[in-house]
Chain A
Amino acid sequence: GAVVSQHPSRVICKSGTSVKIECRSLDFQATTMFWYRQFPKQSLMLMATSNEGSKATYEQGVEKDKFLINHASLTLSTLTVTSAHPEDSSFYICSARDSNQETQYFGPGTRLLVL
């Protein structure tokens, strides 16, 4: 149980295009999901907190118009990187909170490369 999936696992795109990353909780409902970014050999950096049915809460320094987050259902949150640039290349990881266990479970991550 407590499986979180992410799609796609890898994506390569051209500069200026938009990329959507999906995060799904497969066997539990998640009212809260979190989006992280991880640079090579570094820890996770929280980007935003996504609450089902409401606007996401962004961390300081994260552009909400560039990183669009939608949490339309209890099992799905999406992160859209708009007008991607090479500096957006990174490893993006989501986590979903299982309210029954008060634990966050992480997706496998999405490797984004912007050319």
Chain B
Amino acid sequence: AQSVTQPDIHITVSEGASLELRCNYSYGATPYLFWYVQSPGQGLQLLLKYFSGDTLVQGIKGFEAEFKRSQSSFNLRKPSVHWSDAAEYFCAVGAAGGNTPLVFGKGTRLSVIA
């Protein structure tokens, strides 16, 4: 069965500290992997995606993610968090072609403290 697990429901980090949000997936075919961010009352914004090639992908706003096939993981990282990064983060997996719906994790809420 296809699934995405985000083990951390809520994470709090200090501004300027590093961040890692975990994502594990279960997918029968070659996965396409995505990270989206959602601010309160807003839609989802694509941070980055992985289809193939270099397993370390760079995204917007200074985020990066690393695909590790052996661990079925696609963790999101940022070296120095800004207060504006506080939001809900969703990891998603889909099939090649994009015609099938994405499978989303339950999300990780990030809080940033001074």
B-contact 0/1 string along A71-106, CB 8 Å cutoff: 000000000000000000001010101110011111
Residues of B within 8 A of A46 (CB): 101
Interface size class for chain B?
20 to 34
Interface of A is mostly: strand
Whether A93 and B43, one on each chain, are in contact in the complex, defined by CB atoms closer than 8 angstroms, is yes
Instruction: Please name 16 pairs of A and B residues whose Cβ atoms are closer than 8 Å in the assembled complex, sorted by A.
Output: A6-B43, A42-B107, A43-B90, A43-B106, A44-B44, A44-B104, A46-B101, A93-B43, A97-B98, A103-B46, A104-B98, A105-B46, A106-B36, A106-B45, A109-B43, A111-B41
B-contact 0/1 string along A3-39, CB 8 Å cutoff: 0101000000000000000000000000110100000
A-contact 0/1 string along B77-100, CB 8 Å cutoff: 000000000000010001011111
Residues of A within 8 A of B42 (CB): 108-109
Interface size class for chain A?
20 to 34
Given contacts A102-B32, A106-B36, A106-B44, contact A42 B106 (CB under 8 A): yes
Name A residues whose Cβ lies closer than 8 Å to a Cβ of B: 4, 6, 31-32, 34, 41-44, 46, 49, 91, 93, 95, 97-99, 102-109, 111
Name B residues whose Cβ lies closer than 8 Å to a Cβ of A: 32, 34, 36, 41-46, 49, 51, 90, 94, 96-102, 104-107, 109
